[in-house]
Copies of this chain bind each other. A is one copy, B any other.
Amino acid sequence: MYELDDQQRAAQSWFSRLRDDICSALERLEDEAAGPAPAGRFQRTAWDRPDAGGGHGGGGVMSVLKGRVFEKAGVNISTVHGEFSPEFAKQINGASDDPRFFATGISLVIHPLNPLVPAVHLNTRFLVTTRRWFGGGADLNPALPDDGQTKAFHDALRIMAGRHDPAYYPAYKKWAEDYFWVPHRNRHRGVGGIFYDHLDSGDWAKDFAFTQDVGATFLDIYPRLVREKMHQPYSAADRLTQLRYRGLYAEFNLVYDRGTTFGLKTGGNVDAILMSLPPEARWD
């Protein structure tokens, strides 16, 4: 039995509530959509982290919706604890001398059906080793970028981040640009957003508030972007562009994304990890 302390409990509770709110918001969009297909609903699947001895444990809940607005939307929350392998512990902030860790977080990837509606990715987490920090980010992935929507997404993050620290947005926008660069395609995945890690300002409540605000801002802006586009007609050529863009998206996740490659190679929950992959993609 692993006893969560107040910070761990508060973070876990927030990620769970954010999951509920995001799932509700996406289901409302499913209800608003026209069309003969039924409105999609999230299906939840709980999973446990196998206890391989050594005090490993915890688990998570995947929520997956396959609907008429969202071809595939996956929202995963997890809370796990254990010990990093000696080799891996060296690479982790605060774990070189004591490999024990605790992690709680939310991760979501949304692949809309309509190619005009942007796909999106959000991930925020609270990590505890001998140190404690937040990390995460949100980035927009339209197959057919729209300058107005790109600006609205970045404006929302910029204004939100500015309320916490004027240095955050420029630094975290740059971090996302660096992270989502796909060298072999000589382009970025998506139109950016923010990415941050090892956030430990010395004021836990401040850092938690920022992380909460990243989630709340996403919850506000993304459904607005979807509503703007979800009723617009699209062509077969638009759909093809989207399916090919999703090929790039899958390449990035499988070749470069640290969470995906690390998770796959170290026995993470495969279904939860692969939830990020697009429902359909083309390399033709």
Interface residues of A (CB under 8 A from B): 66, 72, 183-185, 243, 247, 250-251, 254-255, 261, 264-265, 267, 270, 273-274, 277-284
Contact = CB atoms under 8 A, between A and B. Distances in A.
Contacts of A279: 282-284
B264 A184 contact: yes
9 contacts: A184-B270, A243-B280, A250-B254, A250-B281, A254-B254, A255-B264, A279-B284, A280-B280, A281-B282
How many copies the complex holds: the figure is: 2
Given A184-B264, A184-B265, A280 B278 contact: no
A278 B270 contact: no
A165 B265 CA distance: 36
Pick from A243, A251, A264, A283 the residue with the most CB of B within 10 Å.
A283
A205 to B, nearest CB: 38
Contacts of A267: 184
A255 B273 CA distance: 13
B281 A72 contact: no
Contacts of A277: 247, 283
Contacts of A261: 255
A72 B283 CA distance: 9
A174 B254 CA distance: 26
Nearest to A274: B283
Contacts of A264: 183-184, 255
A251 B247 CA distance: 11
A284 B74 CA distance: 11
Contacts of A184: 264-265, 267, 270, 273
Given A184-B270, A250-B250, A66 B280 contact: no
Nearest to A284: B279
A274 B184 CA distance: 10
B284 A281 contact: no
Contacts of A283: 72, 250, 274, 277-279, 281
A233 to B, nearest CB: 23
A109 to B, nearest CB: 11
Nearest to A280: B282
